[in-house]
Structure 1
Amino acid sequence: MEMMVPQPPAITIPPVPSHIYLHHTTLSARPKLILLGDSITELGSSHSQGWVTSLAIRYNRRMDVINRGMNGYNSRWGLAALPLILEEILGAPSHQDDTVVSDECLEKDVIENNDAECEMNANNDQSSSTDKKEMTQHPQYAFLIGYGANDSCLPDGGCSRHHVALDEYASNLTKMIHLIQTWNAYSFSGNKKIAVALLTPPPCDTEKQKGNRDNDKVTRLYAEACRQVASDMGIPVVDAWNGMQLPTIVQSEQQSSTKSSSSFSNNQQWKIDYLSDGLHLTPMGNYRLYELVIEVLDRSMVDGDGNLGMGLAVTNLPRSYPDHSTIDATEPETSFMACAF
């Protein structure tokens, strides 16, 4: 009898109170989440159950999700391509000691801070001023860097041309973070316009990837190096390597004891549920990675326990443009003027 493959639950947008939903809107540009990586990232947009597709659904009308994953890329090639991606997303590069850039940055911060104050309708929002501040402060550009699945190919295996030595891999990640953080005025802003996080390589099935990858002896080391770079640079990290060897939140809720989670890992059920070919993700694997990414995106920049996040909880982000119910039917243009709603 053929084994049933578990299917992920439907992606839903977390509910918010109606008065916030209607009036927590903005005319400002919505934030952007830029995903950098290899085929794990690229294929996340290739079907309706991909983890990147799920992010786009979750953040619909609140944040643009931009996929720049490149099939087969390692961190060396990703670093080489990064300047082109940054120029596409952030504009031309500049230097921190450029006075003109600094002045422009300061002026832009003032304008955007004023825009943020217009986002909430004071007559309808019953939240405190502290809540308002939390809901309007978030990075305008968030980068998630996810390389390592190809870097960790065995140097003498069938995919050796993709291999990058461990030390260079860590160095490449560090260089990418630095490049993003120092690219131009957006990066130099003291107003936290840019956020960066790392994504470790996911685990692989050594047997199915025999001769190309080794999960415990090699991929694990690259995941550890990724976590160490994140710690050294003071940025969040999505730990896919450990997290994807555990059941999904939905599965955990259906299980009555922690023993089940341990059994899931020890019996290596994750290989069946999450991996299609020993490396790439099944629909359930995509859902599990989505869960892990959301955990970091939703978390405050620094939570009460000292854990780092990206401050992009979907319920705190304003929807783009006024709700249709608030638009003036006879003079609609007035609803699209700054601070008009």
Structure 2
Amino acid sequence: MKFVNLGKSDLRISSVCLGTMTFGQQNSEAEAHEQLDYAFTQGINFIDTAEMYPVPPRAETTGATERTIGTWLKHQARDRVVLATKAAGTGRIDWIRDGTLTFDRKNLRAAVDGSLARLQTDYIDLYQLHWPDRNVPTFGQYQFEPQKERAFVSFVETLQALDELVKEGKIRHIGLSNETPWGVMQFLQVAQAHGLPRVVSTQNAYSLLNRTWEMGLAEIGYREQVSLLAYSPLAFGFLSGKYLADPKARGRATLFGAFAQRYTKVNMSPAVAAYVDLASRHGMTPVQLALSFVASRWFVGSTIIGATSLAQLKENIAACAQPLAEDVLQEIEALHLRYTNPAP
């Protein structure tokens, strides 16, 4: 397993991160612990979760993923685990903290304290803002709409609140998620101007079907040393190819259709079919092609993989360690030009 520093921080993370949003919904506590144990035997030291997990978010299950990790974490050497979680943002969930989810001091403090209790730990290694507090296109939306503008907490106020939590030892480093180039630069500039904590990573979707990171954020990541934590590298399972043969195959897209809007756009099916064919012609499974591609990109700090079975997890971990030949990469680029970001 390869290890890298996360952004400019001293956090040494595995190049593969175990995503956990199925824990407490599609996976039982015993299954989740089995996945965690196996991941750590393979060298993975990095776990990502969120206060709103599992998905799809529901009032009755919110926090179940963190609680499941907590019952495992209390039996581990804490300094061997790099633990990341996220604070839910405004506008999507009305049952966490009574729906008041702005990134101000009161809410961030309540969110951190809640996560610490569920995770049964004294500190969080990487604390992330799950999506922007302001009006931005997210989760399958791709057009900025000025008419949807709303008030939002200032960047300086948010960073000051996080700074308090860092100084108290409750969190070690901060990161963003589902963020735009403008947002990342605002956080960086405000941090520098006011001597506040600097973001070390951005967790955004990145896959063969969604390479929007490369269109602005890649340069920021390089010049500012902000790592990409690539989520959904299999595009909600679509890049496995299973929905081509059977559109009703069991998976997140069929179980939680309303949660898969990013993957309902017109060029999805032909793009997936083309990548599946490419994998077959080169003696790979579609999963190997998709994960190998993401894991090999120079700007990816860690590839977040999730699974609903131990067999899937084993396949995914192995795929991330498999390099792609130059001719395969060239064919991927040709397909990318034909089907550019069908799932932004």
Q: Which has the higher contact order (CA 8 A, sep 6+)?
A: 1
Structure with more strand by fraction? 2
Pick the TM interval, shorter chain: 0.3 to 0.5
* Higher alpha-carbon Rg: 1
